[in-house]
């Protein structure tokens, strides 16, 4: 048994108390946003690579986002209306999705109200991710816009 007073040298050969310390890293963020942090809401599904990329984008920039999983909780009618008013219903419709092909929507001509009704009924038809910051909204991957959201106010 080795007495407590005997300690091994560190990996570089110096005693453990003489090790150089690394520069201080910023403290990791909790789940609560700070006053300086933008309030960003992301709607998506866990199985969507685009949604995971959006969440990773904000996480890399240490921004806490409010994430709504559309698989667990469908999008509210008011939220869907906010996105359709600003971007148009056709921009929210994912024409490349499997749900779009399976429903045969490529052969139908839908008006805006019909598209909104389909989006509300089946969240798999929504192009993901949907991101919101205040009154600004994006659909799909929009890293340029997201970068402007997280950029400090004084920076250009």
Per-residue pLDDT of the chain (156 residues; tens, 9 = 90+): 555 555 555 555 555 555 555 455 454 555 665 556 778 999 999 999 999 999 999 999 988 899 999 999 999 999 999 999 999 999 999 888 888 888 888 787 888 898 899 899 998 999 999 999 989 999 999 999 999 999 877 666
Inter-axis angle of helices 143-150 and 49-60, to 10 degrees? 30
Distance CA 86, CA 105 (A): 23
Q: Say if residue 103 is exposed, middle or buried (CB neighbours under 10 Å; 0-12, 13-18, 19+).
A: middle
* Cβ 55 vs Cβ 143: under 8 Å: no
- 24's tokens: 């201080």
Tell me if the pTM is above 0.95: no
- 149's tokens: 């959201």
Residues β-bridged to residue 103: none
Distance CA 97, CA 42 (A): 19
Residues ≥6 apart with Cβ < 8 Å to 34: none
Q: Closest Cα to residue 126, out of 78, 65, 83?
A: 83
Under DSSP, the state recorded for 105 is G
- 44's tokens: 């998506």
User: What pLDDT is stored for residue 107 in this prediction?
Assistant: 81
Q: What domains sit in the chain, N to C, each tagged with a CATH number? A: 38-150 (3.40.30.10)
In the sheet with 65-69, reading across from the earlier edge strand, the strands are: 65-69, 40-44, 130-133, 136-139
């Amino acid at each position: 048994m080795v007495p407590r007073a005997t300690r091994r040298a560190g990996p570089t050969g110096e005693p453990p108390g003489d090790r150089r310390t690394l520069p201080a890293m910023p403290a990791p963020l909790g789940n609560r946003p700070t006053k300086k942090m933008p309030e960003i809401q992301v709607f998506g599904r866990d199985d969507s690579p685009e949604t995971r990329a959006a969440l990773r984008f904000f996480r890399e920039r240490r921004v806490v986002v409010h994430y709504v999983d559309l698989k667990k909780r469908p999008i509210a009618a008011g939220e869907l209306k906010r996105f359709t008013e600003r971007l148009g219903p056709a921009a929210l419709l994912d024409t490349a999705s499997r749900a779009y092909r399976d429903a045969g929507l490529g052969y139908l001509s839908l008006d805006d109200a019909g598209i909104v009704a389909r989006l509300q009924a089946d969240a798999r038809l929504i192009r993901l991710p949907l991101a919101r910051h205040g009154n600004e909204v994006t659909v799909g991957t929009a890293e340029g816009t997201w970068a402007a959201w997280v950029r400090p106010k004084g920076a250009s």
